[in-house]
Chains A and B, each alone.
Chain A
């Protein structure tokens, strides 16, 4: 089971990075979404998969017999998902703002802070 998640995560990372490299800010965001999902999957898989046994105690606090799903990665994931969403929302706002200022979304043409050197590059 972990093997499938590993391959899936690798494929999502590949697709996400390919989009991030495209040079278009909107596609960069698409790639970022795929990448954060892939990373979450990877964290989840690294904590091992346990089918259908959520980490819940029985009423009264007794531990159910048998192995429960690993609670630690789940807690980490909850944080990661929320933070990822915050990052995404902020980046989206930044993208909209950039389009308003520059009139385009091509990152390589946004050189206000680091203007092209006079001698130029190949």
Chain B
């Protein structure tokens, strides 16, 4: 593609347009914020599937407002950034479309008021993130990682759907407003299943251990996508879900233990992994995991302080993480490298990037007077006592990573040889990091700006009121812990170069995943080979066996009433005896004439039964068809070879077993049906109306040619077509030409 020298291109215009729309949405949210804070929630309804109680309904409450503001605000900056970062990409237009769809899906997810609506948007984010992660579709690794992300998150989504349906059963509604005000589901008998399924969905989306592996792999996406997915959106969806359903599901031992264990393990493991990465992007990816772990850890509890801490940290993290990803992308863009061991002293070449990196990193490290400091203090204030040490370790590690990622590349000696001469990024790419970095500082200096929103959101949990945000909360335990964090983090920062050397390959879960997929594929192949062997007898065996066993198992499970009554007129016994004899005759392989005679006996027996029990018309038809069939068989036998039994005795016995199972199930079903009084509603209708409506005395005839005339017409068509088909098959000339 030719470089666009004029500075204008259609796809770039699309990027700017998307940014403008995102900012407009952000402004709209800002305008609604007042109403949200005073009335509690703004609602929007549209009937969708009213018969199932499913509505396309939305709700903007304080919690949704926090998420929606992050999604649209950071989204707009990301669109600007992407336009600067990859506006020349030949498929940038497509990229903008995917990213925009992703943003809308995310927005729908956090605004949804109906669980089914929420699920649809949940799956849409999985789908659109697949397109984004696999955007470099000529790279096999990107395709693989995209597929992995989608399978993991969409698989969790299926569990989530099941969980939502159970919630619908337990709460009697899919409407979140009803569910959240209904006093919780903790006492429902379905609670265990609901919790398991919902947590499966949330943990896969938010990449908690053991589903963490897809997130670092998702770095295969272009940097703007990583910046967006990892800060404000995709991975936060799981956290959002946990927060959203917190009032309905939290407070039990199972909730607290599961969330604490998963969140704590993820936070600690990820922060250790983060400091061992050489690739700046990978290091940031692992710190995202750490942040998600911390958020889940704090959602485990229900105290006002813990929830305030979680929400504050959520905002802190979104601000600094998006900024840092954009910085890393700018460094990559400006130097052609993301290797922390190679990058040094870039501040001279990229001063603005360096400043915004510094702003974001200081917030990430949790130093005053930034919002990160307040967030960290709250974390220490809200943490359960026995988790203080793990949290301290994780925070210290993050402190060190902040230094490695955001300081080291910009300070120190001038850089050695790099793939590209370092140069500052354009304004589009600087806007995001600068705005977000400054936001971290402004909110840190004036935490009162966030206070009303956080208060309202925490109130929405139905918990104790929110903690107050202070830059200086006095000399207390959190303060001491903060200083311990800085000391320990500083030491780790100095030791980081040695830790880096310890290698970064830790892909155990990744290998397990690959093995799982390969196993699934070979299982499918194996199953196909067994079931679909291409042999008709195998197909028949499996079909009959399945039909018979499913029926028998159902009967065994339901144990219906069986009517057994052997009183019958003598002629019926005689006819039945003849029919059994005829059937036996049909089985012999020795004489085809005897076979036909036996089948004829059975057919005539059926006709006689019809005659005895008041169905003369049917009997006559049956008799005619039997005669015709016998004649056709006779003609056919002249052209067909004799029969030889080719089955071994064992095989014949096996086939008797299979046939017997189906026969037995037919008998049992009939006995079960006849145990109940018949429903004669339709028969009575026909009896009463066949003369008055159709002027016929023979009710069966009236049904055929009047009440169900179209069916009869269709039946005639079938017979005609069968005749034409048979004629075409038997035309001699074609046979000769081919044979």
A82→B626 CA distance, assembly (Å) = 11
Q: Which residues from 284 to 328 on chain B have a C-beta closer than 8 Å to any C-beta of chain A? A: none
Q: Which residues from 47 to 80 on chain A have a C-beta closer than 8 Å to any C-beta of chain B? A: 47-59, 61, 63, 68-72, 74-75, 77-79
Chain B interface, DSSP helix/strand/loop, else mixed: helix
Contact A10 B667 (CB under 8 A): yes
**B674 contacts the other chain (Cβ, under 8 Å)?**
yes
Which of B187-195, B392-400, B428-436, B722-730 lies on the face that meets chain A? B722-730
A50→B628 CA distance, assembly (Å) = 28
Residue numbers in A under 8 Å from B739 (CB-CB): 100-101
CB distance from A117 to the nearest CB of B (A): 8
A23, A49, A99, A117: the one within 8 Å of B647 (CB)? A23
A104→B690 CA distance, assembly (Å) = 52
**B462 contacts the other chain (Cβ, under 8 Å)?**
no
Nearest residue (CB) in A for B532 is A114
A3→B566 CA distance, assembly (Å) = 6
Contact B613 A49 (CB under 8 A): yes
Contact B691 A1 (CB under 8 A): no
Contact A44 B735 (CB under 8 A): no
A27, A38, A105, A108: the one within 8 Å of B535 (CB)? A108
**B10 contacts the other chain (Cβ, under 8 Å)?**
no
Contact B586 A77 (CB under 8 A): no
Residue numbers in B under 8 Å from A26 (CB-CB): 592, 636, 640, 643
A6, A10, A96, A115: the one within 8 Å of B730 (CB)? A96
A2, A18, A83, A86: the one within 8 Å of B674 (CB)? A2
A15, A45, A72: the one within 8 Å of B659 (CB)? A15
B565, B579, B659: the one within 8 Å of A8 (CB)? B579
Query: With A9-B666, A79-B711, A92-B726 in contact, is A14–B640 under 8 Å at CB?
Result: no
User: Total contacts A to B, CB within 8 angstroms?
Assistant: 298
Residue numbers in B under 8 Å from A87 (CB-CB): 722
Interface size class on chain A is: 35 or more
CB distance from A91 to the nearest CB of B (A): 9
Contact B692 A96 (CB under 8 A): no
Query: With A8-B579, A97-B730, A108-B536 in contact, is A54–B616 under 8 Å at CB?
Result: yes
Contact A96 B636 (CB under 8 A): yes
A97→B726 CA distance, assembly (Å) = 9
Contact B537 A23 (CB under 8 A): yes
| B609, B658, B715: most-surrounded residue (chain A CB, <10 A) | B609
B563, B606, B678, B682: the one within 8 Å of A41 (CB)? B606
Nearest residue (CB) in B for A110 is B536
Residue numbers in B under 8 Å from A104 (CB-CB): 641
Q: Which residues from 1 to 56 on chain A have a C-beta closer than 8 Å to any C-beta of chain B? A: 1-24, 26-27, 29-30, 33-34, 37-38, 40-42, 44-56
B565, B699, B704: the one within 8 Å of A57 (CB)? B699
B residues apposed to A, CB below 8 Å: 529, 533-537, 540-541, 544, 563-569, 572-573, 576, 579-580, 583-584, 586-587, 589, 592, 595, 599, 602-603, 606, 609-610, 612-618, 621-622, 625, 628-629, 632-633, 636, 639-641, 643-647, 652, 655-656, 658-660, 662-664, 666-667, 670-671, 673-674, 678, 680, 682-683, 686-688, 690-692, 695, 697-700, 703-704, 708, 711-712, 715, 718-719, 721-723, 725-727, 729-730, 735, 738-739
16 residue pairs A–B, Cβ–Cβ below 8 Å:
A14-B660, A17-B662, A22-B655, A34-B583, A34-B602, A54-B615, A70-B683, A78-B617, A78-B621, A83-B715, A84-B625, A85-B629, A86-B719, A86-B722, A94-B729, A96-B640
Q: Please provide the 5 A-B residue pairs with the shortest distance between their CB atoms, ordered closest to farther.
A: A61-B691, A69-B614, A10-B667, A14-B663, A93-B726
Other A-B pairs, 14, CB within 8 Å; known A21-B659, A105-B640: A1-B567, A3-B674, A12-B583, A13-B663, A13-B666, A24-B644, A27-B643, A58-B697, A69-B614, A85-B719, A86-B722, A89-B723, A101-B739, A107-B536
